[in-house]
Amino acid sequence: KRIVLLPGDGVGQEVVQSAREVLDAIAEQFDHEFSYQACDIGGAAVDCSGTPFPAETEDACHQADAILLGAVGGPKWDQNPSHLRPEKGLLQLRKSLGLFANLRPIKGFSQLLHASPLKEEVVGGSDLLIVRELTGGLYFGTPSEISKDRESVVDTLAYQRMEIERIVEKAFQSARLRRKHLTSVDKANVLESSKLWREVVEEKKAEYPDVTVEHQLVDSAAMKLITNPTQFDVIVTENMFGDILSDEASVLTGSLGMLPSASVRTDGVGLYEPVHGSAPDIAGKGVANPIAMILSTAMMLRHSFQMDEEACAVEEAVQEVLNFGYHTADLHIKGGEQVNTKEMTRHVV
Amino acid sequence: KRIVLLPGDGVGQEVVQSAREVLDAIAEQFDHEFSYQACDIGGAAVDCSGTPFPAETEDACHQADAILLGAVGGPKWDQNPSHLRPEKGLLQLRKSLGLFANLRPIKGFSQLLHASPLKEEVVGGSDLLIVRELTGGLYFGTPSEISKDRESVVDTLAYQRMEIERIVEKAFQSARLRRKHLTSVDKANVLESSKLWREVVEEKKAEYPDVTVEHQLVDSAAMKLITNPTQFDVIVTENMFGDILSDEASVLTGSLGMLPSASVRTDGVGLYEPVHGSAPDIAGKGVANPIAMILSTAMMLRHSFQMDEEACAVEEAVQEVLNFGYHTADLHIKGGEQVNTKEMTRHVV
Ligand SMILES: CC(C)[C@H](C(=O)O)[C@@H](O)C(=O)O
Ligand SMILES: CC(C)[C@H](C(=O)O)[C@@H](O)C(=O)O
């Protein structure tokens, strides 16, 4: 299996190193062979090659079976023009590889629930998956431009029916592997794109009679994620709605530093990255929490390599390490022991 | 002062009646004269006149100094085609009157904080105002259509610089009357419209040197509203971002049934409505909570009629009634007494 490593910026470097060590352990124990190729992306790539998504990186990613990304961005590049911003590299990577489905599982660890801003009786037991459309919608439609005189501006939310169909299918399939409940989120009382979205969901549901389907307006979903997060199993939604809702959902369980994500397409090729950012304030200090990256790696094993047993082994190792009370500086476990990135990685290995 | 009453659907009828009784008390005590004209809107208007926003309603609103709206919508009209949906009436009303600034203050009542899904130490003390652009952006741009063959769809997020300027000015002015901190929310790392938005905010801030300004990405703001709501004073943002964030924020303090809103333009004409919906399940039972509507009426007194003292009198009356422990069935106050809509209104009066 060819894996491209894109450490990117900030703590990305450190956590991708952790992922690699965990993969080496899996390779040894399960007798697999993983080959690694590291490439630049984001701010690091801007600094070295003058672009956030160099051609060599793009080529390598197109050859890969899967990609592990650390994080992109940092204050150093915040004032750059858009084509030289680290985020642009990530957007181009998703688009270039056609990674249309962003999967964001959100599940609390009982040891960490105390860190949730929500009351335990509200958030306890919540376990949801947000399926966000990732290569269409408002973030990619054209025209998207400011007029020459800077007096007006336009962005475009556009979809082909096929783009909606494939993400909705992915969501139904994901629901089937879980608690079989799908919430489709839109703004069908205002947006035409949401009406087509809802039409596609209604059409597809005939093929998944075992999955119950519900439609929710995005404003209402933003409320219910907080007041009643346990009502959700799988949520499917447009790119920008998904961006907002998945970040909102990511803070509910108090485990932000632990959350993985996958961006995949139908043939199984995927990009795996932690939900947290590049954390420039602690970068290079060896104290970053590698668990979100490690759990992203488990998602890679499962989704891109069909190595379900291996994925479970990684996830169980993480759970056990938490059971022992080990945690990095961003977290607290009562009666636990604080460790650094390397130690945490070693414990999981 | 000419006030148009638009009870609309569901509990709208009951709560607008409460607002009127409170206004009558204010008129008497402060020696004002208010004239009322009731008109149909929403589902009620669809049923009577075949349109959610009849011409007579539009005419009356154009003559009014201010408008009080109860709520629109209900399952009865949910399957209607878009032009016959209750919400359409509300959108047309906002657009027809040019009510470009939606003001949503969110402040907890200490008696009700226990009902918040958030921990008291997280949400306690939060007091924010969301200023949402209401007549432009993604909800009004054209094209907004599904193709004839239903294979593709487009919505448009468009702004004129002037539209951004006036809402940003409104937000700066609002911040000046509060804690003088403005958070502008956008997605400037992806959207061109957000870049122009940020440019306008940066330009305008020179005119308000007493107000501190911060930019936040919408995904990040969706997180911080939950993890650290007290960091916000005034938030200003695009129509659809504002729709999502203001509903998200509305559940933080456990006082959803208490939250008012105003939709205004520069000359002071405004539309005032509770944040909660038409609550068809309890409509007609006389148990709806009228406080959000009553506090919306206080906003009307302040913003449209410059009757600050009168507005404060209403707000203080509400606070006192809560202090006495009176609450409607949607709420609970420890050691308090449950009352119905009429009784609650009488207590406030
Ligand atoms: C960096 C940014 C462009 C990106 C997005 O909005 O897609 C990020 O917020 C994410 O959610 O992965
Ligand atoms: C009813 C709907 C069109 C409306 C909106 O999104 O503007 C509502 O959600 C609101 O926030 O006032």
pLDDT greater than 90 at residue B100: yes
Distance separating alpha carbons of residues B121 and B79, to the nearest angstrom: 43
- State the pLDDT at residue A207: 98
For A287-332, what is each residue's pLDDT tens digit?
A: 999 999 999 999 999 999 999 999 999 999 999 999 999 999 999 9
Interface residue A330 vs chain B (CB under 8 A): no
Per-residue confidence (pLDDT) for residue A284, from 0 to 100: 96
pLDDT digit string, tens, across residues B18-29:
999 999 999 999
The answer, yes or no, to whether any atom of ligand 2 lies below 6 A from the CB of A219, is yes
CA angle B151, B156, B159 (to 5 degrees): 170
> Residues A349, A25: contact at Cβ < 8 Å?
yes
Q: Is the pLDDT of residue B79 over 90?
A: no
> Is the pLDDT reported for residue B78 higher than 90?
no
pLDDT digits 0-9 by tens, A183-214: 999 999 899 999 999 999 999 999 999 999 99
pLDDT at B108: 86
- 8 Å CB contact between B2 and B63: yes
Residue B6, pLDDT above cutoff 90? yes
Has domain B119-133+141-252 been given CATH number 3.40.50.740?
no
pLDDT, residue A108, reads: 85
Angle value at C-alpha A176, between A174 and A180, nearest 5 degrees: 105
By C-alpha distance, which of A157, A106, A159, A161 is closest to A131?
A106
Contact B155, B144 (CB under 8 A): yes
| Percent with pLDDT over 90 in chain B | 97
What is the DSSP track for B195-232? HHHHHHHHHHGGG-TTSEEEEEEHHHHHHHHHH-GGG-
**Using omega within 30 degrees of 0 as the cis cutoff, is the peptide bond preceding A143 cis?**
yes
Given this model, what pLDDT does residue A88 score?
Answer: 94
Cβ of A244 within 8 Å of Cβ of B218? The answer is: yes
Region(s) of chain A under CATH 3.40.50.2300: 119-127+141-252
Ligand 2 center–CA B174 separation, angstroms: 22
What pLDDT shows up at residue A72? 96
Q: Are strands B2-8 and B66-71 parallel, antiparallel or unpaired?
A: parallel
User: Given the structure tokens 């460790």, which residue do they identify?
Assistant: A339
Angle subtended by helix axes B341-348 and B291-303, to nearest 10: 40
Q: Which residues of B touch A155 (CB under 8 A)?
A: 156-158, 191-193
Where does the pLDDT of residue B207 fall: very low under 50, low under 70, confident under 90, or very high at 90 and above? Answer: very high
Q: Which atom number of ligand 1 is nearest to the Cα of residue A72?
A: 1
> Which element (helix H / strand E) includes A24?
helix A12-30
The CATH number of the domain covering residues in A1-116+255-349: 3.40.718.10
Residue A78 scores a pLDDT above 90: no
pLDDT at B255 over 90: no
Q: What is the pLDDT of residue B257?
A: 87
Atom of ligand 1 nearest to the CA of A240: 6
Could you give the percent of chain A with pLDDT greater than 90? Answer: 96
| DSSP summary character for residue A205 | G
Question: SS3 breakdown of chain B: % helix, strand, coil, rounded to 5?
Answer: 45, 25, 30
Out of A91, A93, A140, A271, mutate this one to test ligand 1's pocket (max ligand atoms within 8 Å of CB): namely A91
Interacting residues of B303 by C-beta distance below 8 A, sequence separation 6+: B103, B262, B264, B268, B270
Tell me what pLDDT residue A255 has.
86
The per-residue pLDDT for range B275-331, each reduced to its tens digit, is: 999 999 999 999 999 999 999 999 999 999 999 999 999 999 999 999 999 999 999
B246: how many CB neighbours lie within 10 A of its CB?
26
Distance CA A57, CA B113 (A): 51
A338 vs B8: CA distance, rounded Å: 58
A132: closest CA among A267, A39, A245, A214?
A: A245
> Hey, what long-range contacts does A308-315 have (CB within 8 A, 24 or more apart)?
A309/A30, A310/A26, A310/A30, A310/A32, A313/A26, A313/A29, A313/A30, A314/A22, A314/A26, A314/A348
* pLDDT tens, residue by residue, B28-37: 999 999 999 9
Q: Does residue A12 carry a pLDDT above 90? A: yes
Query: What is the model's pTM?
Result: 0.96
Q: Which residues pair with A264 in a beta bridge?
A: A101, A270
- Quick one: how far is CA A164 from the chain centroid? 19
Looking at the domain covering A119-127+141-252, what would its CATH class be? alpha beta
Q: Determine, for residues B146 and A192 on separate chains, whether the beta-carbon distance falls below 8 Å.
A: yes
Asked if residue A91 lies in contact with residue A51, where contact means CB atoms within 8 angstroms, the answer is no
| Residue B122 scores a pLDDT above 90 | yes
Measure the CA–CA gap between A77 and A75, rounded to whole angstroms: 5
With b for 16 or more beta-carbon neighbours within 10 A and e for fewer, the A294-326 pattern comes to: bbbbbbbbbbbbebeebbebbbebbeebbeeeb
| pLDDT tens string B131-160 | 999 999 999 999 999 999 999 999 999 999
Residue A203 contacts B where some CB pair is shorter than 8 Å: no
Where in chain B do CATH 3.40.718.10 domains reside? 1-116+255-349, 119-133+141-252
Residue B218 CA to chain centroid, in angstroms? 20
In the numeric block, which tokens belong to residue A100? 């249309």
Confidence of residue B82 (pLDDT cuts 50, 70, 90): confident
Kindly state whether A118 is in contact with chain B, defined as any CB-CB distance less than 8 angstroms: yes
- Averaged pLDDT of chain A: 97
d(CA B221, CA B240): 14
Residue bearing tokens 């207590």: B347
Q: Which among A156, A190, A192 is the nearest to B145, CB-wise?
A: A192
* pLDDT of B12 over the 90 cut: yes
Tell me the C-alpha distance between A36 and A23, whole Å: 10
Q: List chain A residues with CB under 8 Å of B261.
A: none
- Return the pLDDT at B46: 97
What average pLDDT does this structure show over B324-343?
Answer: 96
* DSSP structure class, residue B251: T
Q: Any chain A CB within 8 A of the CB of B187? A: yes
CA A188, A189, A193, A194: dihedral to nearest 10 degrees?
Answer: -10
Q: Which two tokens stand for residue A145?
A: 């431009």
B312 Cβ under 8 Å from any chain A Cβ: no
Bridge partners of B127, per DSSP, are: B107
Compute the distance from residue B126 Cα to the ligand 1 centre, in Å: 28
Q: Is the pLDDT of residue A337 over 90?
A: yes
Q: Tell me which DSSP letter residue B54 carries.
A: -
A312: which 2 tokens?
């479970």
User: Minimal CA–CA distance to A130: which of A232, A282, A8, A258?
Assistant: A232
Mean pLDDT, range A265-281, rounded to an integer: 96
Cβ contact, residue pair A152, B146, below 8 Å: no
The whole-number pLDDT of residue A142 equals 97
Average pLDDT (A49-78) is 97
Let me know: does A291 contact A344? Beta carbons within 8 Å.
Answer: yes
Q: C-alpha angle B159/A161/A275, rounded to 5°?
A: 70
Looking at every residue in chain B, the average pLDDT score rounds to 97
Cα–ligand 2 centroid distance for B16 (angstroms): 19
